[in-house]
Amino acid sequence: MKTLFDKVCVIGVGLMGGSLARAMKKQGLVKTVIGTSRNSENLQQAVKLNVIDRFEADMTIAAAEADLIVLAVPVGAVENVLQLIKPVMKPNAVLTDLGSTKQNIADAMRNVFGEVPDNAVLGHPIAGTEQSGVAASFAELYEGRRIILTPLVNTNADALEKVTALWQGVGAQVMNMEISHHDEVLAATSHLPHVIAYAMVSTLAKMNDKQDIFKYAAGGFKDFTRIASSDPTMWLDICLANKDALLDVVSLFKDDLDELANAIEVGDKKKIHSMFSFAKTARDAITSADNVDK
């Protein structure tokens, strides 16, 4: 497979950044992957696991060498990282990210550079697990998964082409989307489910008989709440970064939950059945569409 970049700097070598590093190396898309983060022990482990080729504790050293810089840090940390690496970046270096929110990333770039650089290609892979850290990374994480890119009017065509080819090279399905639409869609399909899972586990854990509740929890509970084991720091940043879109969909969910609770209270079988049937039909349609896509 064609080598796309000489040296890649991955800032934040955890599950997401580490998995991309593994995949890029496995597919021969890059010559050298340099990892950097605030945690030197994590970086040493990344080298031992062959996730990266080498590391630099000083991210400015790593960024200065790179033809591609991948921001794989929590979205709330992006602006500080950009401030650090701005003075050392090569003029033609491509900049991309793995963040679950896009408007705040674009805003961070404008705050630091004055505008979103034309060599910046904002991206969001719709992939992940509830695990975190470099030890949880694996090269196949992005295979068959969607990656959303949000190019702007000034985005350099060559940079977009290379980032697109990179994601396709690791097995992802690439699609483009406007930033505002991305944040609205992900608030509903990703951010809301995480908020609900965290809230549900928190509620049950506060109940007096919580030990029995969790002891007898069935598979459905474990499946539904799996994502509550995700990194709290990462999801705190996401919630605040996409606050407006998330609050809109939370409000809609609360209204539907209140409607269902009222129907249960008065014993409105028709209403309850209608809401459940509507949800089942919608869920089955989603599953069917996913199978067709595959």
Q: Are residues 24 and 152 in the same domain?
A: yes
Q: Are residues 202 and 153 in the same domain?
A: no
Q: What is the pLDDT of residue 217?
A: 74
Amino acid (1-letter code) at residue 3 = T
Question: The domain spanning residue 245 has which CATH number?
Answer: 1.10.3660.10
Of 144, 177, 210, the position where a domain reaches its end is: 177
Q: What is the pLDDT of residue 291?
A: 54
* DSSP 8-state assignment for residue 6: E
Question: The domain spanning residue 13 has which CATH number?
Answer: 3.40.50.720
Domain span at residue 225 reads: 182-293
Q: What is the pLDDT of residue 48?
A: 95
Helix H, strand E, coil C: the string for 141-206 is CCCCCEEEECCCCCCCHHHHHHHHHHHHHCCCEEEECCHHHHHHHHHHHHHHHHHHHHHHHHHHHC
> How far, in Å, CA of 163 to CA of 158, rounded?
9
Q: Are residues 149 and 268 in the same domain?
A: no
Of 145, 161, 177, the position where a domain reaches its end is: 177
Q: Are residues 200 and 56 in the same domain?
A: no
Q: Are residues 115 and 150 in the same domain?
A: yes
Q: What is the pLDDT of residue 219?
A: 80
Of 154, 177, 200, the position where a domain reaches its end is: 177
Q: Are residues 169 and 249 in the same domain?
A: no
What is the mean pLDDT, run by run of 10 residues, along the chain of 294 residues?
Answer: 92 95 96 92 93 95 97 95 97 96 97 97 91 91 96 97 97 96 95 95 82 77 88 92 96 97 97 96 82 48
Q: Are residues 214 and 190 in the same domain?
A: yes
Q: Are residues 267 and 286 in the same domain?
A: yes
Question: Total structural domains in the chain?
Answer: 2
Q: What is the pLDDT of residue 64?
A: 97
Q: Are residues 212 and 101 in the same domain?
A: no
Q: What is the pLDDT of residue 210?
A: 65
Q: Are residues 128 and 36 in the same domain?
A: yes
Q: What is the pLDDT of residue 224?
A: 86
Amino acid (1-letter code) at residue 141 = L
Q: What is the pLDDT of residue 294?
A: 44
CA distances from 78 to 83, 86, 98, 199 (A): 9, 12, 11, 27
Q: Are residues 59 and 160 in the same domain?
A: yes
Q: What is the pLDDT of residue 132?
A: 84
